[in-house]
Structure 1
Amino acid sequence: SRKKNIQKGLFHRVSNGQISINRLLGVLFEYEGVFAIWSAHQSVFLAEAKDSDDLVAIKEVAISKKIEKLSIFREIDVMRTFDHKNVLRCLSYDASEARVRIILEYCPLGSLADLITRTKESESSLAESEVCDFGRQIASALNYIHDLKVLHRDLKPDNIMVTSGNLLKICDFGVCRVLQDGESKANSAKTFVGTIQYCAPELLQNAAYGPPGDIWGLGTILVELATLGKPFGESDAFLAICNRISKGAFRPLPESYSWKFRSTIQRILQIEPKNRPTTDELLKYPLFIQSDTEVEEYYEEDFDESSSHSDISDNHDSSQISSSIDSSCSSSDYSFNNDS
């Protein structure tokens, strides 16, 4: 019945990693929740394996520069080593001089960004338990790739796919960094990459980026899931966002969310990388293991309820970020995070 619901000709045929091209029209189309996204540089097609009913996604990337080719093959090389339920699998690939096609797991529910958009459009919200479950899954994926000495470096809702049962899979490793033998995780990369709304403060200071940078990205995603808004405001002004990031001035969390959740966010979104929890530590947080056992004792030890409000004193020198940040960009409407 599924085949009857999908128009004839909307499949590339896939067999042993080779694609027999039956080209789709280069247009945006949507059919029963299955999306094919077309752009000038990249498209994603729904495909069916030749000898089974399995659906896969084919990411097709046009290559115009050598640096683009290096990036896409780095992504392929890294993804083909992964085997974790919360990391998107690369099944195979096909390449020519002009373009590369990567065969990936198919995720019928789109990205986490799509889920956020659908939730907003339905004038609904995500329950704290849902957000915590998503956080646990992302932390588990990060724990896995960090153990393999891989830094994602561009963690955001667009780069996390959603499949049946709200199972998350992080993807898009085009700007990832693989640490070499002997290279310190704490002093690993200084190249400015990523998306500003989810960018860790240390990147704005041209400081080293390590696993704590990915942890910061996780924190910003949790804020966005809880609030359904950009973690550091809806402004497109680069300097205004930088100013808020430099102060840890993230969007206020809904009043319906518990102080346990607020405490967890404050622990994650610490300005100093060394003060953020590791993925091992995060996965032991009661909020993420979804156990009520000893939860109260765990959080009561060091939670200061006043720290959930926007009047927290900010002890971070934002001039270290950029002397040109617009000082007129007010952060008074955002929750401040105090390193301690």
Structure 2
Amino acid sequence: MEEKASSSGGVFGRVLGLCSALLEWVQRLGMLMFAPRHKLDGGMVVLRGGKVGEGGFSYVFGGVEAGSWRRVVLKQVRIDEPEQYASAMREVEAHRRFDHPNLMPLLDFSASRSVALMVFPMCSRSLRQVIDAKVVEGGDAWVPEEFSRLFDGTCRGAKAIHASGLAHRDIKPENVLIDDGRAVLMDFGSMAEAKVELSSRRDALVLQDEASVRSTMSYRAPELWEPEAPAFLDTAKADVWALGCLLWAMAYGYSPFEADFPTGGKRPRVVECSHLRVLVTPAAPPKDAIGTRHEPDFFLRVQRASRALLVVDPNTRPDIDRALQLSVSLKEWGAHADPEA
């Protein structure tokens, strides 16, 4: 009787496998016949799938590489004027400068007078999605080892950018993807030279306008809200501020400057971000906040590390090396705190 059941189960499994293979073949045939096809300058041919996101001047699509059927992401940037073309080319060149496990690689690209196309590897999810699941929606709580590993990887990606004399200028959970458990920093469209000399009020206003467009408000450092001149700014320090916000968001759901906890509440509440708000030291969240309640000692250290990076004066704010020291300390504590380590 048991042998018969086992035999039936084996046949059923083979039938399911054949059906799955047939379905995949039909899907591939459908893409080959009907999906928009893009040939990139490096020779890659991408079959475009559905839209998965969009920005001010760009759309992001899922897709596959023809032949290998590798899943990829296709970023399509609309070009209406020369500055948009130059901006797209700067983004391409920024990707070409790096070969680092915590920075998103560019697989191929092409550009015309009306559109630029960039192809990237497909990652499983974003840090924002993980935060939403664990903290905002109250799912499985963070494991300290996973938490500290993702933050450490993000810091290492930022370190590689800073070592080249550049600053990312828009570090946030939406711009950190997760690939096989590894944090990958993406979206180099806001990247620029780290050192900025502001010799006039005009220079300060230009930087302010750039930041208002390219740097997300709730992760934007104080010196980018209303820059003063004359001054010499190292905007790599603005990335460190953003890392402090990101660390807080990983633990408590959002940047400390876009959310708070109502009295007696365990879930974060979104509030309006403003320049004045970023100048105020964030209030301590409750110890039993959703997402952190199972490891209060670890997340107290996280809170302290975040505050250490959120120094209003960029001249006294830590640099990326100090941020890495804090991330390593959290990794060591996380490995100790994790019962499965």
Q: Give the TM-score taking structure 1 as reference length.
A: 0.70
Aligned to 1:211: 236
Q: Where do 1:300-311 residues align within 5 Å?
A: none
C-alpha distance in 2, partners of 1:39/1:211?
A: 24
For 1:195, the equivalent position in structure 2 comes to 216
Matched, 1:246 2:265: no
Q: Assess, with a 3 A threshold, how the Cα gap between structure 1 residues 242 and 265 changes in structure 2: closer, same or farther.
A: same
| Deviation at residue 40 of structure 1 after TM alignment | 7.7
2:131 aligned residue: 116
**Which residue of structure 2 aligns with residue 96 of structure 1?**
112
Give how far 1:196 is off.
Answer: 0.9
CA distance in 2 between partners of 1:21 and 1:47 (Å): 7
Match of 1:84 in 2: 100
Point out where structure 2 has 5 or more consecutive residues left out of the alignment.
1-20, 260-269, 337-341
Tell me how far apart the structure 2 counterparts of residues 40 and 291 of structure 1 sit (CA, whole Å).
Answer: 40
Distance 1:248 1:169, change over 3 A: same
Whether contact under 8 Å (1:186, 1:209) holds in the other structure is no
Partner AA of 2:63 in structure 1: A
| Structure 1 residue 274, shift from structure 2 partner | 2.9
Counterpart amino acid of 2:275? Answer: C
Q: Contact conserved, 1:107 with 1:161, CA < 8 A, in 2? A: yes
Distance in 1 (alpha carbons) for counterparts of 2:154 and 2:46: 35
Query: What's the CA shift for 1:38?
Result: 5.5
Unaligned runs of 5+ in 1: 29-35, 296-340
Q: 2:223·2:314 contact (CA, 8 Å) conserved in 1?
A: yes
Q: Residues 286, 169 of structure 1: CA spacing in aligned structure 2 closer, same or farther, 3 A cutoff? A: closer
Is the CA contact (8 Å cut-off) linking 2:225 and 2:275 kept in structure 1? Answer: yes
Q: Check whether the contact 2:46–2:64 (CA below 8 A) recurs between aligned residues.
A: no
Q: Select which of 57, 72, 90 maps to 1:74.
A: 90
Q: Map 1:89-168; keep pairs closer than 5 Å.
A: 89-109=105-125, 111-119=126-134, 120-121=136-137, 123-165=139-181, 167-168=182-183
Q: Find the counterpart in structure 2 of residue 229 from structure 1.
A: 254
Note if 1:17 corresponds to 2:36.
Answer: no
- Displacement of 1:95 in angstroms is 1.2
- How many pairs does the alignment contain? 277
Is contact 2:38–2:48 with CA below 8 Å preserved after alignment? Answer: no
Contact kept, 8 Å, 1:85 with 1:169, in 2: the verdict is yes
CA deviation after TM superposition for structure 1 residue 21, in Å:
7.1
Please tell me whether the aligned partners of residues 153 and 176 of structure 1 are also in contact (alpha carbons under 8 angstroms): yes
| Structure 1 residues 177 and 22, CA gap change in structure 2 (3 angstroms) | closer
Match of 1:302 in 2: none
Does residue 52 of structure 1 match 2:68? yes
Q: What residue identity is the alignment partner of 2:117?
A: R
Amino acid at match of 2:253: L
Give distance in 2, aligned partners of 1:199 and 1:78: 21
**Partners of 2:169 and 2:191 within 8 A in 1:** yes
Summarize the alignment of residues 273-292 of structure 1 with structure 2, pairs less than 5 Å apart.
Answer: 273-285=314-326, 287-288=328-329, 290-292=331-333
- Partner letter of residue 121 of structure 1? E
Distance 1:125 1:67, change over 3 A: farther
- Share of identical aligned residues, percent? 22
Cα distance in 1 for residues equivalent to 2:36 and 2:131: 28
Q: Is the 8 A contact 1:223 1:251 kept in 2?
A: no
Bigger shift: 244-253 or 55-64?
A: 244-253
* Residue in 2 that maps onto 1:261: 302
Task: Assess, with a 3 A threshold, how the Cα gap between structure 1 residues 41 and 229 changes in structure 2: closer, same or farther.
Answer: same
SS in 1 for 2:62: strand
- Which of 313, 317, 336 is the matching residue for 1:272? 313
Question: Could you list the per-position Cα deviations for residues 137-167 of structure 1 after superposition, in whole angstroms to 9, with x for gaps in the alignment?
Answer: 11111111100011011111111112222x1
Calculate the aligned-residue CA RMSD, in Å.
3.3
Q: 1:150–1:103: structure 2 CA closer, same or farther, 3 Å change rule? A: same
Change (3 A) 1:156 1:254: farther
Is residue 248–residue 271 contact of structure 1 (8 Å, CA) maintained in 2? no
Query: Contact 2:219–2:255 at 8 Å: present in 1 too?
Result: no
CA distance in 2 between partners of 1:40 and 1:246 (Å): 28
SS in structure 1 at match of 2:282: coil
Residues 78 and 39 from structure 1, CA distance in 2 versus in 1: closer, same or farther, beyond 3 angstroms? closer
Separation in 2, partners of 1:96, 1:215: 36
CA spacing shift, 1:16–1:177, aligned 2, 3 Å: closer
